[in-house]
Chains A and B, each alone.
Chain A
């Protein structure tokens, strides 16, 4: 299926398996590719049985109908130094070793401080079951379930599926129409970005124009 002659060499003969540093899971949205098809949103609902009214990921369109129209899929970005974790008064939020930010729904009191802190609008506050006991916070789990035994009924009910435990990537990125939404180990995500930069002849990271104005 090779389609191109651009490659990013694996310098170790054993390829990615040979790496030993711990993974750091990240999302990346290629805004030159997101077409606002909603595939990620529905895939998330299908995979995690997310009830109506909850959007663990949402596509946002900037400048609709005008030159410069741009789409961005916005899930929880699983920040390394996550503001939600800092502000949670009951320590319901935490970073896993691989960087995934989880909420413990049995600790969460549904106060909504995390919503104030989050730069992406990720925290959601449902009304009813199956997530919403007392309207506690629900959000993107990176398809990694929650702090319960993997694949247990309680994990399934409170958090949804656990693809990470199975060695699979989040569903939204897996089915993205144009491979705009990329998920995985930060180093590998970086490789995807590098590849695309090489293929396009220029970088296109969201905000790059602000960081490095071309004048």
Chain B
């Protein structure tokens, strides 16, 4: 029976890198092989497999090239090593020495290769002609598209084009696309950040200056308390759990999860706070009130580094614990317990994601989270901060680079004589030439349509719009249409728009959803692995992503498509250069171009050379501090997180940290709103609250010309004096420009399941011109919605998919793990409605602005994750609409492996008052057995 066969290595020592990643304390070098694990949560160790004699280890006979690259799914920014043979991607090896993920990959990352090798990859350009998909050459396709664009421009002007850009574009491509829109002459460009974290950016940038995650994934290892609200880390950012679990195990950190569902992450919590969707502000104020009542607040942080505390205290009076408990459904004892855990375990970090942001009052939610961290004194400290987990791999970068309808790159805004002047200077074009591209200066300075509601630009009468023409052409450039709520309306716009261009590695729902016979173009784009460039992860680390293989089939790099289009539209010459001269090396010269212009957030010191050098030195960086010890990167922080002011600056791992000098990444809060508030109170930080080694040990204003000086001298002078170029100001509890909510308030969702609370906690007034469209609030907040639609409707993620899922649903392995769309339904609700696990049900939502309610047909997944008063839908699905399978509308051979109804078809109307973020977490619905 036992024929024993021993091969070469006979099982001795393998994979020292692997063991290392498990057990970092063990010496790691000197083993023959590379891969390793650590012990802690770290990795595995050098000796998990004992080493074979060097001669005893066989060698893979293939001639493989190893290429380090960065995962293109979520924003954690994991690295891996792609192995390539003859320009074919054949396997993946763990990059054990990558400081963020230490070799780890979730299902999406492990399936990265399938994005390139999938049989469903688009092979050539196509257009819809007479109801049939027809193959085109690139030249014909681009020629037709550009001439149609020119016609539309002639007839309707530049604002008749809407570009939906992408958070999967690398920094260079994102920057080029935003530049393209400016040269075309419109602000009608936007991307997924609008519907992802726009409310975070608006909320916290208005609190303390910058709108980004303040600490890092790795820094969670330093936390003693991890408060997670509106984020299911296990599913959305799996590798971040490595750091969270390290904190839990090695620091005995308290993990507190606040969520309406019992999520995969709730299973790892020490304390769960189950609360009603859409009541975040009330819950946070409940916690704050417990903290203040017990005197647990950080008084010096509040006195020396914040503004508007008295206004906040005034608002807090409305939130006694009984009221909070009534609003949120969270027991008083739980709120008290959680507050005590946070107060007794400092520093603590606060993590949030789309559960907090995607609400009609999302900006208030994010501001309330920030307020809690300020009051606890957790800001500007290792182990503290607001660890805001962004979605896509480069959503932070695409946001920074202004693929948004309300700003140019670097959050400069749209000021015709400020922002556009600065960037024209960087671009090396005359300011007057830039102005000449727009219809007029008024529209040039006015925020454009957002991805959340661009379709109204097609559908509404142009008299109702904030511009005098309708949208006639739409480019979906790496953006899923099934990510947009109100999909019934989206479809109508897709039906109606004159020219629809879908640029993506796969056929997306955008191309197959509309009922039309002509006017749709599909252009095959390369995936992120077929183009090089830099990407910014959630915690501002900018990493260079190497190209793994050449674009497959006839697909092209996004950057090449942008440049081709600029050429054909007649502004290629101005486009392909900057003040230093024409682009010669791509994408590197574009990196250098944004290095030059991105003064505001210090995306100035991350040179191509530094980024590429860090790739080779991952092992030198400490996991907790992210600082390299020795070697050529000595003292640098991994990813050169912005602000990285100069080429000598190490980057700023932890924002607003005053315990280290500016030269090493220290800074106070940004003095962004002058030195005095309109009410006369100071906005400058108090005595003794400047970063150490500062020549001014109190608050100070921003440096003169720091945002526009392209020589870097202002930065160098400031750093030499220990000063942050942006000043040293106060974080604001009170934001006077937010007229409705100068201090965040709880407001009942537009579709509230508690009509009795609407009077006291009413939503906003309707807004007439909000990103060029009217937006409704009060007129839709009806107390009788709940009679017909008694269930709360919420959406979220599945670990195998990302965003609209158009790439992952074309990957066979992932679809095998997650084969179908479903609705989560509690056993009690299921039984009361005679629904059993696996039954088909209709989920129906209110009619909102349309005359008909919206419906989707999905399978019931009976589970206790949800409470009996709610329905939960994953949002990655497409290809089925109102119960109808759309397979026959795909070009032949391109039907994805995974097809299902889009949750966003039934997501209710609702948009954030400040940013127009769509409300997808708190709606109403009813269910009917199909």
The residues of A with any CB-CB pair to B shorter than 8 Å are: 1-8, 10, 15-17, 19, 22-25, 32-33, 35-39, 41-43, 45-47, 52-53, 64-70, 85, 88, 91, 94-100, 102, 144-145, 147, 150-151, 161-169, 173-179, 182-185, 187-189, 191-192, 195-196, 199-201
In the bound assembly, the distance between CA atoms of A29 and B35 in angstroms comes to 19
- The answer to whether B648 has its CB under 8 Å from any CB of chain A is no
Chain B residues near A3: list those with CB within 8 A. 24-25, 38, 40, 42, 221, 246, 250, 622-624
Q: Decide: A175 and B249 in contact? CB cutoff 8 A.
A: no
Q: Decide: B27 and A177 in contact? CB cutoff 8 A.
A: no
Q: Decide: A7 and B25 in contact? CB cutoff 8 A.
A: yes
B363-388 to A contact mask, C-beta < 8 Å, 1/0: 00000000000000000000000000
In the bound assembly, the distance between CA atoms of A165 and B623 in angstroms comes to 31
Q: Decide: A46 and B5 in contact? CB cutoff 8 A.
A: no
Q: Decide: B49 and A185 in contact? CB cutoff 8 A.
A: yes
Tell me which of A10, A173, A196, A199 contacts B26 (CB under 8 A). A10
Q: Decide: A94 and B107 in contact? CB cutoff 8 A.
A: no
Q: Decide: A65 and B262 in contact? CB cutoff 8 A.
A: yes
In the bound assembly, the distance between CA atoms of A192 and B104 in angstroms comes to 17
In the bound assembly, the distance between CA atoms of A32 and B255 in angstroms comes to 13
Chain A residues near B110: list those with CB within 8 A. 39, 42-43, 46, 175
B255-285 to A contact mask, C-beta < 8 Å, 1/0: 0000001101011100010000000000000
Chain A residues near B18: list those with CB within 8 A. 168-169, 173-174, 184
Q: Decide: B15 and A16 in contact? CB cutoff 8 A.
A: no
In the bound assembly, the distance between CA atoms of A108 and B868 in angstroms comes to 50
Q: Decide: A179 and B11 in contact? CB cutoff 8 A.
A: no
Number of interface residues of B (CB under 8 A): 105
Q: Decide: A169 and B49 in contact? CB cutoff 8 A.
A: yes
- The answer to whether B572 has its CB under 8 Å from any CB of chain A is no
B interface SS class: loop
* Chain A min CB distance to B623 (Å): 5
Q: Decide: A165 and B35 in contact? CB cutoff 8 A.
A: no
In the bound assembly, the distance between CA atoms of A192 and B33 in angstroms comes to 19
Chain A residues near B800: list those with CB within 8 A. 38
Other than the given A23-B50, A150-B58, 8 more pairs (CB < 8 A) read A94-B2, A161-B91, A165-B7, A166-B60, A169-B15, A169-B37, A176-B104, A188-B45
B residues 31-84 touching A (CB-CB < 8 Å): 31-35, 37-52, 57-62
In the bound assembly, the distance between CA atoms of A46 and B863 in angstroms comes to 31
In the bound assembly, the distance between CA atoms of A94 and B26 in angstroms comes to 34
Q: Decide: A16 and B241 in contact? CB cutoff 8 A.
A: no
Q: Decide: B44 and A169 in contact? CB cutoff 8 A.
A: yes
Chain A residues near B20: list those with CB within 8 A. 1
**Chain A residue nearest to B15 in the complex (CB):** A169
Q: Decide: A151 and B241 in contact? CB cutoff 8 A.
A: no
Q: Decide: A1 and B799 in contact? CB cutoff 8 A.
A: no
Interface centre among B4, B43, B267 (most CB of A within 10 A): B267
Q: Decide: B3 and A174 in contact? CB cutoff 8 A.
A: no
Also in contact, A184 and B5, with CB within 8 A (given A17-B31, A65-B863, A96-B11): no
The residues of B with any CB-CB pair to A shorter than 8 Å are: 1-15, 18-27, 30-35, 37-52, 57-62, 91-92, 94, 97, 99, 102-111, 113-114, 221, 234-235, 238-239, 241-242, 245-246, 249-250, 252, 261-262, 264, 266-268, 272, 619, 621-624, 799-800, 812-814, 816-817, 863-866
* Chain B min CB distance to A48 (Å): 10
Can you identify 8 A-B contacts, CB atoms within 8 angstroms?
A37-B799, A38-B107, A42-B107, A67-B262, A88-B1, A144-B7, A165-B7, A176-B104
* Chain B min CB distance to A169 (Å): 4
* Chain B min CB distance to A89 (Å): 10
Among all A-B residue pairs, the 7 with the closest Cβ atoms: A98-B11, A184-B48, A16-B47, A38-B107, A65-B865, A69-B267, A42-B110
Interface centre among B15, B42, B268 (most CB of A within 10 A): B15
Q: Decide: B238 and A174 in contact? CB cutoff 8 A.
A: no
Interface centre among A5, A91, A183, A200 (most CB of B within 10 A): A183
* Chain A min CB distance to B247 (Å): 11
Chain A residues near B43: list those with CB within 8 A. 179
In the bound assembly, the distance between CA atoms of A151 and B58 in angstroms comes to 9
Also in contact, A177 and B26, with CB within 8 A (given A169-B35, A184-B15, A184-B49): no
Also in contact, A178 and B245, with CB within 8 A (given A167-B14, A192-B44): yes
Q: Decide: B22 and A177 in contact? CB cutoff 8 A.
A: no
Also in contact, A46 and B114, with CB within 8 A (given A174-B15, A179-B38): yes
* Chain B min CB distance to A85 (Å): 7
Chain A residues near B234: list those with CB within 8 A. 35-37
**Chain A residue nearest to B14 in the complex (CB):** A167
Chain A residues near B46: list those with CB within 8 A. 15-16
Q: Decide: B106 and A182 in contact? CB cutoff 8 A.
A: no
Q: Decide: B58 and A166 in contact? CB cutoff 8 A.
A: yes
Chain B residues near A45: list those with CB within 8 A. 813
In the bound assembly, the distance between CA atoms of A147 and B621 in angstroms comes to 41
In the bound assembly, the distance between CA atoms of A25 and B264 in angstroms comes to 31
Q: Decide: A37 and B15 in contact? CB cutoff 8 A.
A: no
In the bound assembly, the distance between CA atoms of A36 and B238 in angstroms comes to 9
* Chain B min CB distance to A159 (Å): 12
Q: Decide: B24 and A37 in contact? CB cutoff 8 A.
A: no
Q: Decide: B22 and A182 in contact? CB cutoff 8 A.
A: yes
* Chain B min CB distance to A146 (Å): 9
Q: Decide: B2 and A169 in contact? CB cutoff 8 A.
A: no
* Chain B min CB distance to A113 (Å): 13
Tell me which of B5, B23, B812 contacts A52 (CB under 8 A). B812
Chain A residues near B21: list those with CB within 8 A. 179
* Chain B min CB distance to A195 (Å): 4
Q: Decide: B13 and A195 in contact? CB cutoff 8 A.
A: no
Q: Decide: B15 and A195 in contact? CB cutoff 8 A.
A: no
Q: Decide: A38 and B106 in contact? CB cutoff 8 A.
A: yes
Interface centre among A3, A8, A65, A99 (most CB of B within 10 A): A3
In the bound assembly, the distance between CA atoms of A66 and B269 in angstroms comes to 12
Q: Decide: B814 and A167 in contact? CB cutoff 8 A.
A: no
Q: Decide: A7 and B26 in contact? CB cutoff 8 A.
A: yes
Chain B residues near A32: list those with CB within 8 A. 245, 249
Chain B residues near A22: list those with CB within 8 A. 10-12
**Chain B residue nearest to A165 in the complex (CB):** B58
Tell me which of A95, A147, A150 contacts B8 (CB under 8 A). A150
Chain B residues near A98: list those with CB within 8 A. 6, 10-12
In the bound assembly, the distance between CA atoms of A161 and B61 in angstroms comes to 12
* Chain B min CB distance to A26 (Å): 10
In the bound assembly, the distance between CA atoms of A163 and B624 in angstroms comes to 31
Q: Decide: B47 and A185 in contact? CB cutoff 8 A.
A: yes
Q: Decide: B27 and A15 in contact? CB cutoff 8 A.
A: yes
In the bound assembly, the distance between CA atoms of A144 and B14 in angstroms comes to 12
Chain A residues near B58: list those with CB within 8 A. 150-151, 162, 165-166
**Chain B residue nearest to A107 in the complex (CB):** B3
Q: Decide: B7 and A150 in contact? CB cutoff 8 A.
A: yes
Interface centre among A15, A144, A184, A199 (most CB of B within 10 A): A184
Tell me which of B27, B61, B102, B241 contacts A35 (CB under 8 A). B241
Q: Decide: A195 and B113 in contact? CB cutoff 8 A.
A: no
Interface centre among B4, B18, B52 (most CB of A within 10 A): B18
In the bound assembly, the distance between CA atoms of A174 and B80 in angstroms comes to 11
* Chain A min CB distance to B629 (Å): 10
Tell me which of A36, A64, A67, A97 contacts B799 (CB under 8 A). A36
Q: Decide: A179 and B41 in contact? CB cutoff 8 A.
A: yes
Q: Decide: B48 and A96 in contact? CB cutoff 8 A.
A: no
Q: Decide: A8 and B49 in contact? CB cutoff 8 A.
A: no
**Chain B residue nearest to A26 in the complex (CB):** B48
Q: Decide: B13 and A23 in contact? CB cutoff 8 A.
A: yes
Q: Decide: A185 and B48 in contact? CB cutoff 8 A.
A: yes
Q: Decide: B14 and A164 in contact? CB cutoff 8 A.
A: yes
**Chain A residue nearest to B12 in the complex (CB):** A23
Chain A residues near B264: list those with CB within 8 A. 35-36, 69
Q: Decide: B45 and A1 in contact? CB cutoff 8 A.
A: no
Tell me which of A4, A151, A164, A184 contacts B40 (CB under 8 A). A4
Also in contact, A167 and B11, with CB within 8 A (given A151-B61, A184-B18, A196-B39): no
**Chain A residue nearest to B57 in the complex (CB):** A167
Q: Decide: A24 and B11 in contact? CB cutoff 8 A.
A: yes
